[in-house]
Structure 1
Amino acid sequence: MFELTNLLSCFGPTCGDVVDWEAVEATYGRRLPSDYQEFMTAFGCGSVEQALYVQAPATTTAELTGNFVSTLPAGMLADEGAGDWRDPAQAGLHRLEDMLLWGLTEEDFLCWVTSDENPDQWPVAVYSRFHAAWSVYPYGMAEFLLRLLRDGFDEWPISDAGLRSVSEPRFLHDKDEEAGLELQERPLE
């Protein structure tokens, strides 16, 4: 998380959220990963370059829909094609019902595979609409984001390649976006 906070900067006056983690744990019936908790403290909910949205944790069961960490949408769970895997060796290893959605791009779902009892061991799973399939990466959320922002994948894991060209990535908190702030386009370097 330290490297991520050194790489990613806040754009706008709001940076970080105060979260009642005991309420979050009661809502989900388990703790969420430590690196996610640190991310919420450092950045909060919002978007990286308005391309990748990080969802807030729910503190009540009523919030388990909308822009909060949640299970996959019922329509996706019912769709037989939504269970396809890019790597056939991963087929059958992970259940869609065991995933918690923590991030989105315009085209993709970013989840944790929650089958391990220790949330700090949850790998990141990405459903890429470009590939119309899932891939699982053996990293936590912070390391996944760091690798994404440093272009540290052999195969780009998300559909939108726009984050590949950003040398100084910025985070825009939801509150600042709602107040009308927008990240200005920068020329490609």
Structure 2
Amino acid sequence: MEDPTGIAALAKILPPDLGADEEIDWSAAEARWGTRFPRDYMAFMSIYGAGEFVSADGFGGLGILMPLPKERVHPLSDETFEDETENARSTWEMLGGQEGLDIDPQHILAWGVTSGPDILCWLTADPDPDQWPVLVWGRHTDEDFTLFGCGMVEFLRRLILDEHDPYPLSVNLSSLRYVHRLQQKR
């Protein structure tokens, strides 16, 4: 059976043994943000939950944010989905956008942050959330903003397998494992 979310392919290379279902009220999240969310993100939250991809060397991490606040999500920062979305939008405006990318900053929605600290977002211009590409604001990358023509789960799968060229983040995340936010607290 085909997996349109790509979550099975991600689970093959990164077992979700330290993950947990967030049991997100997706209707409330949609009401809060005025949009539906991509199926791959919803599948990720039901299997892995909010937490952090932790590098084996301990020098890097990538936190996944929740669309609705609960408690502190990950140790990278105390920032929330809202905070990181505002950071990405205001940075886009402050930098005057980027040549070659015609983006309304209101179509930027953050879903992750690295210890770099990069912000990982969706570009939400398409009415179908499953078509939203990933937009990365790299704090120490060649380009300030880079657009990737894939969804969140595929972006993460390629990141783990080191298939992005050029590498999209300011931190080198090698030999990753995923740790749910509640496991991190322990």
TM-score normalized by structure 1? Answer: 0.78
- Report the equivalent of 2:113: 104
What does residue range 41-60 of structure 1 map to in structure 2 within 5 Å?
41-49=46-54, 51-58=61-68
- Which structure has the greater CA radius of gyration? 1
- From 17, 31, 34, give the equivalent of 2:39: 34
Runs of 4+, deviation exceeding 3 Å: 78-85
Aligned residues: 166
Q: Deviation digits for residues 46-95 of structure 1, max 9, x if unmatched?
A: 001160000012179xxxx942356632686167553453xx322xx212
Would you say 1:6 and 2:2 are equivalent positions?
Answer: no
Q: For residue 41 of structure 1, give the secondary structure of its aligned residue in structure 2.
A: helix
Q: Identify if the C-alpha distance between structure 1 residues 100 and 21 changes in structure 2 by more than 3 Å, giving closer, same or farther.
A: same
Q: For residue 81 of structure 2, give the secondary structure of its aligned residue in structure 1.
A: coil
RMSD over aligned CA atoms reads 2.5
TM-score normalized by structure 2? Answer: 0.79
What does residue range 14-163 of structure 1 map to in structure 2 within 5 Å?
14-49=19-54, 51-58=61-68, 66-68=79-81, 72-73=85-86, 77=90, 81-85=94-98, 88-90=99-101, 93-106=102-115, 107-131=117-141, 133-161=144-172, 163=173
8 Å CA contact 1:47–1:171 kept in 2: the answer is yes
Q: Identify if the C-alpha distance between structure 1 residues 36 and 83 changes in structure 2 by more than 3 Å, giving closer, same or farther.
A: farther
Percent of aligned positions that are identical: 33
8 Å CA contact 1:36–1:141 kept in 2: the answer is yes
Q: Which runs of 5 or more structure 2 residues have no equivalent in the other structure?
A: 1-6, 56-60, 71-77
8 Å CA contact 2:119–2:138 kept in 1: the answer is yes
